């Protein structure tokens, strides 16, 4: 497989132009879904703030602090599945459109390396989801900082990071599964994605992943490049 194989010097500029063209197309295609997800995530964070505020109204601050800092309760636990659901929704919206009547062939026929084209599509999704998740994280941290000390904010950041990572893995796994034509590889993709997401979303304790989270950051590029394999399989499938 020849990933990013635009090797001639004259093609260096071309790659950035291809990337910007794919981003142009994807931004138009996914705009309604992107807008919807930002809206829903904003609504959820506002609701989360209201719930948090209610905790302090119903109980004394000392009691809430005790629960959070000593008992390890997390007042933002409802956030856990939001990144996963957002990522799956975005992945389906972005790639089902391409798979409808095999429209992706239009992109694959463009005069560029096929793997790069598909990877640029996935990269767009990753960029969007990273922005969405950054918004969620910032909103969460601002909200928590309003009521708690910075240590709790840091702990919340480390606790929620695996949830957001699960979203990114679900997006990449979903993309792989949608593009891959071979049933065996498709199934393998489902299983691997499921196991990774399950592990990341199994709540152990606050900041449980603090020391091992880097392993998942190493896995993420591997998952990303596996999409190039599915693109290659798609092009060279047997009828």
Residues that bind other proteins in the complex, under the rule CB under 8 A: 6, 17-18, 20-21, 24-25, 28-29, 97, 101-103, 105-106, 108-113, 235-239
Nearer residue to other proteins within complex by CB, 72 or 181: 181
Closest contact distance (angstroms) between CB of 237 and other proteins is: 6
Nearer residue to other proteins within complex by CB, 42 or 236: 236
Q: List the structure tokens of 56.
A: 């302090």
Nearer residue to other proteins within complex by CB, 31 or 217: 31
- Is residue 174 within 8 A of residue 92, CB to CB? The reply is yes
Nearer residue to other proteins within complex by CB, 18 or 227: 18
Closest contact distance (angstroms) between CB of 93 and other proteins is: 11
Closest to 76 in 3D by CA, of 40, 42, 43, 47: 47
Closest contact distance (angstroms) between CB of 69 and other proteins is: 49
Residue 114 to residue 132: CA distance in whole angstroms: 28
Q: What is the dihedral of CA 55, 60, 63, 65, to 10 degrees?
A: 70
The answer for residues whose C-beta is within 8 angstroms of residue 164's C-beta and 6 or more apart is 83, 133, 136, 137
Describe the crossing of helices 213-235 and 183-201 by its angle, rounded to 10 degrees. 160
Closest contact distance (angstroms) between CB of 190 and other proteins is: 24
Closest contact distance (angstroms) between CB of 100 and other proteins is: 10
Nearer residue to other proteins within complex by CB, 214 or 238: 238
């Amino acid at each position: 497989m020849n990933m990013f194989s635009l090797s001639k010097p004259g093609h260096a500029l071309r790659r950035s132009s291809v990337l910007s063209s794919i981003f142009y197309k994807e931004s138009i295609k996914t705009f309604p879904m992107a807008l919807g997800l930002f809206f829903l995530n904003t609504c959820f964070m506002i609701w989360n703030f209201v719930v948090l505020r209610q905790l302090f109204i119903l109980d004394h601050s000392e009691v809430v602090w005790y629960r959070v800092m000593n008992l390890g309760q997390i007042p933002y636990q409802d956030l856990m599945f939001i990144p996963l659901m957002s990522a799956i929704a975005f992945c389906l919206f972005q790639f089902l459109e391409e798979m409808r009547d095999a429209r992706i062939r239009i992109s694959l026929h463009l005069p560029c390396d096929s793997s790069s084209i598909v990877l640029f599509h996935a990269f767009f999704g990753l960029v969007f989801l990273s922005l969405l998740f950054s918004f969620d994280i910032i909103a969460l941290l601002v909200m928590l900082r309003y009521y708690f000390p910075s240590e709790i904010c840091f702990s919340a950041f480390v606790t929620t990071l695996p949830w957001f990572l699960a979203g990114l893995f679900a997006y990449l796994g979903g993309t792989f599964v949608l593009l891959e034509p071979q049933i065996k590889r498709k199934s393998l993709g489902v299983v691997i994605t499921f196991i990774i997401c399950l592990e990341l979303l199994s709540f152990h304790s606050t900041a449980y992943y603090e020391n091992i989270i880097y392993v998942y950051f190493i896995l993420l590029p591997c998952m990303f490049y596996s999409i190039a394999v599915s693109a290659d399989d798609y092009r060279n499938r047997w009828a």
